[in-house]
Structure 1
């Protein structure tokens, strides 16, 4: 279950009122995923993804990730594009949580991976790194070696290893 923040139809419509993305038709929580809450929203113009950023994501890092996505998209990486609201904001707040709306990409979750699928993901990841290697924006890696060392010591202490 990856729908951590439940939103009503009224709340979804209120969010859409801040954008020029068409009239609301339907919405559905997306159960796949582990970190953020995602909803598929359908309007009379298009399908969209509403992402509510949950507790692990630092609010100060959100602009970095959205700029990275925009830069990637601009240089041909097939990825969702963050959309600005009527006030030109990428990030807004509902129920004390930050959210963004993104373009929808067709696809599905894979349960089994073939060698060919892994190869395609590897090529896409290589292309992502290639187009972003000279991007000037940076953030601290929260999952660096020091993070894993600290986590290991915590687990070791709890398990009396």
Structure 2
């Protein structure tokens, strides 16, 4: 369960006094996610999500995230809407942590998405990219190319504990990506963490996108590469090219990719795999004592990285070149 900081009934009741949400009826921790402490809150006004920001989320970045959700919602993207207190504030504190309460979205996250879901996801991702084009605030991606080697150095000496030779794999990949990372591709606001548990569906169509706390400005095609990693591998570790083709076709039904973006997908997919390998490795080796959280397996992304290293062109992802 992703609860690093516990909240008492009294703390939450005092917190809610600043809002027009009525009395607290119940609340419970939410199992999904590994970055923040999340609670489903039920008040007389309905259901809401309370998030306490932990770990990698810098408090100075929170206006970017909260403002982005409002911006996207105003442009028709189904995403959580921050609930403002009577004084107009969206950002608050509870249990010693910065926190916000946001609207609850209907829908189900999928454990085994099918090609139809991947196509809907691709379309929703492109719609989000288009809606974010005129968002005024900017946030650099701290977990892109420039941040990977410093992150690895925090745990690199112990990588071999997870798998012999893992550190050698990572160093070689860092060397490659620092030489090969593409430049000059279209940039904009990306989600940067659009895993299946961050997407809700109703009747096989995306009903909402959640968890924008890694959103930033970066290469738009890098967001697609993250989704290829998160949505298109099967439990037996094979890559499902049918899902990948559907995802990209859904995306291009809204925003066609340039030839340069298509050609860059194998390198971007390697970078996306390395990014999640590194953050999972760090989490695996540094879980706080007593935290109600199960770290995710970093070796899942080591296997995905090895797959992408064998890819010679984006055609292997089902992309027309």
The TM-score normalised by the length of structure 1 is 0.92
Please identify, of 146-155 and 41-50, the stretch whose mean Cα deviation from structure 2 is larger: 146-155
| Unmatched segments (≥5 aa) in structure 2 | 161-166, 169-321
The structure in which a higher percent of residues are helix is 2
1:53-132 superposed matches below 5 A: 53-132=53-132
- The 4+ residue runs of structure 1 with deviation greater than 6 A are none
Q: Who is 1:49 aligned against?
A: 49
Q: Which structure has the greater CA radius of gyration?
A: 2
Q: Who is 1:40 aligned against?
A: 40
In the alignment, is residue 142 of structure 1 matched against residue 146 of structure 2?
no
Deviation readout 1:79-134 (Å, 9 max, x if unpaired): 00001112211111122210001000012332111111111111111000001112
C-alpha distance in 2, partners of 1:91/1:151?
Answer: 28
* 1:157 Cα deviation after fit: 5.1
CA, structure 1 residues 153+7, in 2 after alignment: closer, same or farther (shift >3 Å)? closer
Q: Who is 1:5 aligned against?
A: 5
The structure in which a higher percent of residues are strand is 1
C-alpha distance in 2, partners of 1:54/1:16?
Answer: 20
Secondary structure of residue in 2 paired with 1:83: coil
The TM-score normalised by the length of structure 2 is 0.48
* 1:155 Cα deviation after fit: 5.6
C-alpha distance in 2, partners of 1:110/1:12?
Answer: 30
Q: CA RMSD in A?
A: 1.7
